[in-house]
Each structure stands twice: as C-alpha cells, then as structure tokens.
Structure 1
Amino acid sequence: MFRILEVSMPAAGTDRRVRRTRELLRRALVELILERGYDRITVQHIIDRADVGRSTFYAHYTDKDDLLLGNLEELAAAFEEHLERHFASRAEPNPVLAAFEHADRQRDLYRALAGKRGAEVMRAGLRRRLKEVVARRVPEFLPHRDGAVPVEVTAEFLLTSLLGLLMWWLDNDLPYTAEEMADMYMRLVVPGVQAAYGI
C-alpha cells in the first residue's frame, strides 16, 4: 500500500523520517477533510498543509485515496488483534468490538467522509483490509461438514453484514454504543452460523 522511497541512509534515521512524514500527511488530510470535505481536497492542499514537497508525498503515497487508506490500518490492526485474542483464548468477549470502537473514536473523520468519493474509498478500503483478516481466521473455527455452507460464503456474509451495520451506525449518528452494536451484531449472526454448521 505504501510506496517508500529507497534512500541510502541508516535504517533507523530513515524509519524515523518516514514515520514523521506519514504522520504529517495523515494529520493534514484529516484536518482538511474536516474543514473542506474529502471531495474538495487535492494533493496540493495536503502537501501545503503538511509543509512537504510533492516528490515527498509521491514517495509514500500514489494519491489522496492511498493516503486515506493508510488511515484505515489502525482499524484493521485493532480488529485483527481482537480476533486473534478471541480465537486464541476466547478471552476477548466480542471479536468485532474493535471495529465499532475505532469508528466511535474516529466519528468526526468518518462523518467528514460521508461525501460520495470519500465514503466509496473508505468502504472499499475497509472491506479489502478486513476481508484479509476474516478470510484467514473464520475457516479456523468452522467445522468441515458435508452439506455445510461453504466457508468462503460464510466469511463473505460475516464481512458484508459487519460493514453494512457499521456504516448504518455511522450514517445514523451512532444511536447505540460501540458495545451495544458489537453485541447486537453477534446476536444476529452467531445463531445463523451455528445452525448452518451444526455447532
């Protein structure tokens, strides 16, 4: 996803500069989205706000959509961490809570992305990143039985319903808490999955 410019410097210095530059660009993007709306922002606006050069921007990202998708990594990482804990020990009570908690913490950003193009990029990016996590983890807890729903169908159902519910929640100004949404999602999907697999 990120295009990092290869430079012949010590790794530690490069890493620190790369992190700093990406943080400046991300912060500029979020500020501009909240001020102008995603559709009205250009790369020039972003680099002016971040005070970096055009070549520096393109050394890290291909365009503003790529920069936006970088902001979704936090959600994907938190979601994956919750899933890992849930499936490893069942200590994590609700594996989708991370998705709702992240959206709750970033509600202004998500609302600012309600414009057509921003929403499309956000949905596509969330879907792609979370699909990797779901596709990897869901097959591990579903038994292989003759006549059962194919695992890839179940994974697609779980992902589509999660993203749909998440977007509905954001579009309706978060009428329930993150915990309530995660709980309702699980109450809706778990009985169906258990019935489909006889578990």
Structure 2
Amino acid sequence: MASRNRSVRRTKAALQSALVDLLLEHRSLQTVTVQAICDRADISRSTFYLHFENKDDVLSSYLLQAVGRVHEALRAWTGPEDSRWTVYFAHIAHIAPVLSSLSPTGGPHAILSRYEQQFAVIMQDLVVPGRVAVTDATVSYQAHYFSGGLLSLTWWWVEEDRCATPAQEMSRRYHALCSGQLCP
C-alpha cells in the first residue's frame, strides 16, 4: 500500500511539474492542453484522468500544496513580527510566473477563490494558533479581511510591481497596513 501511495504522489508531482513548465513557456493556462501536460510528464491521458479532472485541478492542487508549505513556514517563524511575511512574499516571487499566467475569468478564478479560502484558514490559525476550526465569527471575519488584503496586495505585486520590491520590504508594508499604519 505504501508503494502505491508513493507512486500516486510521484505521478501527481510529475503532472504538476509538467504543467508549471508549460505555464512558464506559454505564459497562459488557456493555451496549455491536457495532452501537452501528459506528453511533458510522459504519462498517459488515462493515467492523468485517474488523478485529476482537468488542468485546472492540476493547478489547484499545485497551488494548495504551495499554500501548505507557506503555512508551515509562517507558523514556524520566530523572527520579528514585521518580517514574518517575508516568507510569504519570497514564496510568491518564486511562483509569480505561474500566477501571472492565470486570467481573472473562467477556471483559474475558481482556483484563486480556493487559494483565498485556504489563506483565510491560515490567517485564522495565526490569529488563534492551534485552533484552525474556530467558530468565533470575530476571528473568521478578521481572517477573511486580512487574507483578502494579502491576496489583493499579492496581485498588485505580481502584476504591477513585477516583484521588483524585495520580499522583506513587502512584509514590512503588509505588517504596517495590518497595524493600521500607512507606509511609503
């Protein structure tokens, strides 16, 4: 059973990697086909459909895994609070080419919605550590507010700033905004 799980993880990782490579080449999710992903991963279409419904599903799983890694790094952060989000912005800088291939309409929009929901869970966990399933509406609305602001700032950074501002500076700016401060 363990070797089957390992094989599934390897297959999914190969398909995700193939999609990311193709996104970096084509710069648009719409121009990438399932067949191209299969060809790049050297995996049959039937195997593809055993693991994913479509290319949006592959991208969604890739982004949700990335969010999980960021969550772990944010929880483990022991540095100054105004630098905590450096972890996040450094990660975004790494996947910015993938994010910029998404359009605001269609399938990718649903993926981004799931990404925002996952970040709301992360924010909730950071507000009340260790109690992710908090039902307190105060914590929930704050988590959604901060995750929405973070993702909006992220899109500005990827699309307008082209990740030119260093991650450390973006972390400082985000922390200042969350604290109710305006920053240059």
Q: TM over 0.5: same fold? A: yes
Native 8 Å contact 1:39 1:118 kept in 2: no
Task: Give the match for residue 77 of structure 1.
Answer: 68
Structure 2 equivalent of residue 196 of structure 1: none
TM-fit CA distance, 1:115: 6.7
Residues 85 and 168 in structure 2, CA contact (< 8 A), matched pair in contact too: no
Partner of 1:62: 53
- What is the percent sequence identity of the aligned residues? 30
Asked whether 1:101 is paired with 2:90, we answer yes
**Which residue does 1:144 correspond to in 2?**
none
Correspondence for 2:140:
152
**1:159, distance to aligned residue in structure 2 (A):** 0.7
Residue number among 5, 9, 12 corresponding to 1:15 in the alignment:
5
Question: Partners of 2:21 and 2:57 in 1: how far apart?
Answer: 17
Runs (5+) with no aligned partner, structure 1: 1-9, 142-148, 193-199
Given candidates 7, 21, 24, the residue that maps to 2:14 is: 24
Partner of 1:181: 170
Paired residue type of 1:102: H
Q: In the TM superposition, what whole-angstrom CA distance separates every residue of 1:83-114 from its partner, at most 9, and x where no partner exists?
A: 3224xxx5464332222111111222223335
Q: Which residue of 1 aligns with 2:134?
A: none
**2:14·2:41 contact (CA, 8 Å) conserved in 1?**
yes
Deviation at 1:170, TM superposition (A): 0.1
For structure 2, the residue ranges without an aligned partner over 5 or more in a row are: 131-136
In 2, are the aligned partners of 1:79 and 1:95 still within 8 Å (CA)? Answer: no
Match 2:156 to one of 148, 152, 168: 168
Indicate the RMSD between aligned Cα atoms, in angstroms: 2.5
The number of aligned residues is 172
Partners of 1:51 and 1:75 in 2: CA distance: 23
Structure exhibiting the larger radius of gyration computed from Cα positions: 1
Query: In 1, distance between residues paired with 2:52 and 2:147?
Result: 27
1:136 aligns with 2:128: no
Describe the superposition over 1:36-85 as per-residue Cα deviations: whole angstroms up to 9, x where unpaired. Answer: 32012222222122221222112211211110011113431232123322
